[in-house]
Homo-oligomer: A and B are copies of this chain.
Amino acid sequence: MFSKESLDNLILSKRTVLCVGLDTDPAKIPAHITGTTKQKVMEFNTSIIKATHKYCVAYKINVAFYEALGMEGWQILFHTAEYIKSHYPQHFLIADAKRGDIGNTAERYAKAFYDEMPFDAITLSPYMGIDTVAPFIRRGKFAIVLALTSNTGASDFQLQPMDDGKPLYQKVIEKFSEKFGRDEIMFVTGATHSPMLKSVRSLVPDYYLLIPGVGAQGADYLTTLSNALNASGAGVLINSSREILYASSNDDFEEAAAAAASKYEF
């Protein structure tokens, strides 16, 4: 059960906004970890989680990396989510799934990620509208709506002006924040759009922002942080994946991951 306030407290007590992204690629797992794909990914994930949990407040599991592992990928996803929630229940657990579908289908996705698996939040695409996000609103959980993403394709639609001159992503933030509260939704805003982060923060001063794009995607951490923090000095989750997971490809990967994660302390 999380709320805007409990997340703020967690961040202020741990002195970090870091969310570690578990985009685990079997081809990048250090060579000394052996076994089946399932064994290797589980050993790598649990090692990374043990090494980094002190230095982060959240984990984000990129579902695509597990679906790509075939039939057993979904099992590895389940076991990873369960491992985090049973060992580190204070950590906020995000399914980065970017789902979005009509009501009766959205309810199935909510069942999959909230009931079958113990996720606290899920990322969602806003394209199909408010009614497709509503089934993911539950007490203590967060629907995390894509607003301005970190890829170049963001300029194709998200940054295009609507008839009132405002870009589409701003319309998305306005409509969703009008409908849902700060304990119900968050917004994804890419760190690569540094100048726009400040304007997003002023649009929704009380809402959490999930920020990818720091690290491997190029944005600077401190600039991002200063643009995005809320009045309490929290309100942000900054995701880093590759930079932490693959900080070393040798048998010191746990220490290297911990060192990379600890740099996010403020």
| Measured CA separation A156–B175 after assembly (Å) | 8
A67 at the B interface (CB under 8 A) = yes
A165 within 8 A of B: yes
CB-CB contacts below 8 Å: A191-219 with B: none
Decide if B70 touches A73 in the complex (CB within 8 Å): no
Does the CB pair B111–A131 fall under 8 Å? Answer: no
Please state the number of chain copies in the assembly: 2
Question: Can you name 7 extra interface pairs (CB under 8 A) apart from A23-B105, A126-B127?
Answer: A65-B108, A68-B109, A125-B127, A127-B146, A127-B157, A128-B153, A129-B157
Q: Output the nearest chain B residue to A79 by Cβ-Cβ distance.
A: B71
| Chain A contacts to B: CB under 8 angstroms | 23, 62, 64-65, 67-71, 73-75, 78, 96, 98-106, 108-109, 111-112, 116, 125-132, 146, 149-158, 160-163, 165, 168, 171-172, 175
Give, as a whole number of angstroms, the nearest-CB distance from A139 to chain B: 20
Which chain B residue lies CB-closest to A156? B129
* Residues on the B chain within 8 Å of A156, using CB: 126, 129-130, 175
- In chain B, what residue has the closest Cβ to A111? B68
A-B contacts, 18 of them at CB < 8 A, read A23-B104, A62-B105, A64-B105, A67-B108, A67-B116, A70-B112, A73-B74, A98-B101, A98-B125, A125-B127, A126-B127, A126-B157, A128-B158, A129-B154, A130-B156, A132-B153, A161-B162, A162-B162
